Every structure is written in C-alpha cells, then in structure tokens.
Amino acid sequence: MKDSNIVKNICTLTVLVREKKPLIHHLTNYVTVNDCANIVLASGASPIMADDLAEVEEMVTMASALVLNIGTLNQRTVESMMAAGKKANELGIPVVLDPVGAGATVLRTSTCRLLLENIKLAVMRGNVSEIKAVGGFEATTKGVDVSQQDLLNSKDLDYGRKIVQTLSKKFGCIVAMTGEVDLISDGTKTYSIYNGHPMLSSITGTGCMCSSLIGAYCGITSDYLLAALSGVMVMGLAGEKAYQQTWEANGGNGTFRIKLIDAVSLLTGEDIKVRGRIGAE
C-alpha cells in the first residue's frame, strides 16, 4: 500500500531539512527533552529548548517552527507556552502541539483547550487517548500512555479516521493520531501510515520525538499535512530499522533507543521509497 507521490515528496523534504537546518524552538518536558533535541539534530535540523517567560518570545523570532509539549506541565510553562504560541502566530511561524497525557487530569485537558482557543496550530499530534480526550470523545487515559481500551487496530480505522477528520475541521489544523496505524488528516484528505514497530512503545519519549520531527519538517514547508506525514513516517521507518539492528545485536531497550536516533540520522531517500507504506482514504 503506497501513495508514490506522497512518498516522493517526503524524500524531497527529508533532503531539504538537512540542507536548510531549520531552528526548531521547543517548550517541552524535562523527561524527554534530551531525546527530542537529539532526534531533531538527527533529522538535520537544529533544536533550542528555551522555556523561560523572559526569553520565549525573543527566541521564537529566530525559529522556523515552535513545538509545545505539555508532558511535565506546570503553571510557569503554561504562561510561557501561551506567550510563545501567540508570538509565533504573529510572525507566521508554525506551531506543533503535543497534548501529552490529555484526559489524565483536569489541568492537562483544560490547558490543551486553552492553547487551542488562543493559538492557531499547524499540527496537533498525540496518541489515540490524547486526541480523543482533547476532542471531547470518550477516552480512557493511562497517565501519559494510550490505554488498552483506546487502542485502534485495522478493524477500527474507520472510527479513527472519523476522529481525525472531525477534529481537524474543528481546530483548523492537521491532526495526527499515532498508534499501530497512524492516521493523519487535514479534514478533507486522510492518510494512513503503516510503518513502525511495537518496540517504539518500550522506551520513553517516542511520541515526543515524533512531534519534534514534525516540527522539523514544518520548519521548511507551508504544507503542514505533508510535514506531519513526513515526521510520522520517518519515525515509523526509524523504529523498524532500529528494531532490526537491536535484534541483530541481541540488545534491549537501551540499545533500541540509541539505534532509533542512529536510524533517523542515517535514513535515506531509498529507505523511504522502498519501505514507506502510506495510503490515502
């Protein structure tokens, strides 16, 4: 299953990220901040992780994209996110939101809604539980992880497509819902990506890293649907390659984490053309 034109465009963008090296400003969480920075560097882009209210607006002016991640949420960072997001909107800089753990607490869910009400997003990426919670669908959140009750398999994809299409129209942004099958929509077109490996859920931060990759691609194109597809596919392909190399090395979670970053840095256009699996609905 492959949309050849989309795969070709993802290859082109992957080269451009490495050529242009866009600066991606993050207000992210302290659990995965290092992994997010390293995955952005592996893609060819440049990360900056500045979250103090006194400098976020100034930092945004230098950036090509802004990534907001609520993984380790507190009142101080909410203020910084609001200021950075509004400044990015003022300057026409794309904003990516990762609603980590939305639905787990009132603070997380209300913060997501506050950001959505006040900041124009380019892309929102989350797991099934997070996206459903933000959109007002019934969800069962397990901390910052997707719950077993919310997992979608191939039989549930029509329901998943309805969710991303509905929320893309509602929030006026690209919605990427990642899982066993990744679903990405602009409200009109919806794509399914079938790359990835279950071991991606065995280490902390792969969702955060995926959002950071989307930010890297948003930093070089105004086609945010293509940027989201690129970030999600690259993460999935890197997961497949990292698992294969981990298995060959008789390694475990730690090896997989290192191999994942390696795989992003070494990913070629040929890898994407041969292994990328994407379909349009």
pLDDT (0 to 100) of residue 2: 63
Class of residue 279 by CB neighbours under 10 A (exposed 0-12, middle 13-18, buried 19+): middle
- Calculate the average pLDDT of the chain: 92
CA dist., res. 55 & res. 170, Å (int): 32
Digit-coded pLDDT (tens) for 74-116: 999 999 999 999 999 999 999 999 999 998 899 999 999 999 9
pLDDT (average), residues 230-259: 97
Instruction: Tell me how far apart the alpha carbons of residues 10 and 227 are, in angstroms, rounded to a whole number.
Output: 8
Domains and CATH numbers, the chain: 4-273 (3.40.1190.20)
Give Dmax (Cα) for the chain: 50
Which one has a higher pLDDT value, 78 or 280?
A: 78
Say if CB 273 and CB 233 are below 8 A apart: no
